[in-house]
Amino acid sequence: MMHSRTVQIWVGLFVIAGLAALLMLSMKVSNISTFTETEGYEVTAHFENIGGLKVRSPVTMAGVVVGRVANIGFDKESYEAVVTLNIQNEYDNIPADTSASIFTAGLLGEQYIGLEAGGAEEVLTAGSELELTQSAIVLEQIIGQFLVSQADKE
Amino acid sequence: MLDALQRLGATALGVAERMGRGHLFLLHVLGGFPALLPRFGMVVKQMYSVGVLSLVIIAVSGLFVGMVLGLQGYNTLVDFGATESLGVMVALSLVRELGPVVAGLLFAGRAGSALTAEIGLMKATEQLSAMEMMAVDPLHRVVAPRFLAGILSMPLLAAIFSALGVVGGYFVAVGLLGVDDGAFWSQMQAKVDLHEDVFNGVIKSVVFGFVVTWIAVFEGYDTVPTSEGVSRATTNTVVHGSLAVLGLDFVLTALMFGK
């Protein structure tokens, strides 16, 4: 039997290695910042078609993630999708006439909302609504239109 | 005809009886846990033989499993031009499934068999009976520290396996195959969820550690006290332990990830 001090040192190292591995898995592999949800304010936007947008999809501005999709609902009167965006508090000077479009990352990637700043003086606050929106591009519709236009030519 | 029926009945009764003994045994051992706290040194000593000595095989397997995942995943993903997702694939498969499961199988083979053989030999050489003669409860003195050490070691081993697997996948993907360094990590961080994926993987490894150690110490304690009996008990530990890990993994996966 080894000296008990050596045994204890080895077990101590083992525990530290195990905890370090857990720490690496939570910090480096998964994103711990999504765990501590940052404070933000919510604005809404109506879209004709949101395609494959999901709750927690990113909201970007000039490619930088400024928030996340907080909720997706359906407006019974206008038959449109109501998307609630949660924008981080540090971005508090976004113009009120900013437009929102649904883009796709890559050809078949996930969908996200891109904001494009307008020129208005007043800024977005909690509860504001984005008036200018552009729906997701649905690939099947485009293919359908293309086929129809090809058929018309002949 | 009636003989066959009788044999079936006897087997079923034997299995039920053994299950019952196993659960009573578990209750008795768990009852010994509070007494271990003031004498934690006994658990530390067992963690050395159960955990530290399993470290080499766990670390090497983790590294190589991650590297192979990287190589094979690349072959599939490169056709779709999605090699940046390699990190996500490697991390998710390791953290959710391969980490706990393969570490559990190795744990059953490396640590479980050793536990069974040790306790079985103690029984065969009547050391356990000698303890009882001295009014020392062998379940509390011998089995409980080994059991607790197994439960504590397994999640740590599984975490080390997964972490080294990710590192192995990183070496192959970024070093060998030329996947973009930043995309590898950022895609991984975007898709792997701390609660959904990492915590559930840890829960799995705790459950596997509990079940494999339970099977190992019970097989050892319940062995037929002959050299043949000990060898059969050791085999049983590895076979039943591995089957339990695979079966429970399906159940846990269905509960955690199947909506």
Question: How many Å apart are CA B113 and CA B54, to the nearest integer?
Answer: 12
Mutation target to probe the B interface, by most B beta carbons within 10 A, among A5, A14, A55, A65 is: A14
Q: Which of A89-93, A109-113, B152-156 has the lowest mean pLDDT?
A: A109-113
pLDDT of residue A108 exceeding 70, the answer is no
Mutation target to probe the A interface, by most A beta carbons within 10 A, among B194, B202, B206 is: B194
Smallest CA–CA distance, residue A70 to chain B, in Å, is: 16
CB B218 within 8 A of CB B116: no
- Mark the ranges of chain B whose per-residue pLDDT is less than 50: none
Q: Where are the alpha helices (DSSP H) in chain B?
A: 2-31, 40-50, 55-77, 86-92, 99-107, 113-124, 127-133, 138, 144-170, 181-191, 200-221, 227-256
pLDDT of residue A107 exceeding 70, the answer is no
Smallest CA–CA distance, residue A23 to chain B, in Å, is: 9
DSSP B234: H
Mean pLDDT of A74-79: 90
DSSP A87: E
A51 burial class (0-12, 13-18, 19+ CB within 10 angstroms)?
middle
Mean pLDDT of A6-16: 88
B54-99: per-residue pLDDT in tens? Answer: 999 999 999 999 999 999 999 988 888 788 888 889 999 999 999 9
Mutation target to probe the A interface, by most A beta carbons within 10 A, among B189, B193, B202, B205 is: B189
pLDDT of residue A38 exceeding 70, the answer is no
A29 contacts on B by Cβ (under 8 Å): 91, 95, 163, 166, 188-189, 192, 198
pLDDT of residue A36 exceeding 50, the answer is no
pLDDT of residue A53 exceeding 90, the answer is no
Q: What angle do CA B99, B232, B136 make, to 5 degrees?
A: 85
How many CB pairs (< 8 A) connect A and B?
88
pLDDT score recorded for residue B182: 77
pLDDT score recorded for residue A96: 86
B126: left (phi over 0), alpha (psi -120 to 50) or beta: left
Report the amino acid identity of residue B3: D
Would you say the C-alpha torsion A67, A71, A73, A75 has a positive or negative sign? negative
Q: Tell me what the pLDDT averaged over chain A comes to.
A: 83
From A14, A31, A108, residue closest to B190, measured CB to CB? A31
Shortest CA distance from B54: residue in chain A: A14
Q: What pTM was computed for the model?
A: 0.76
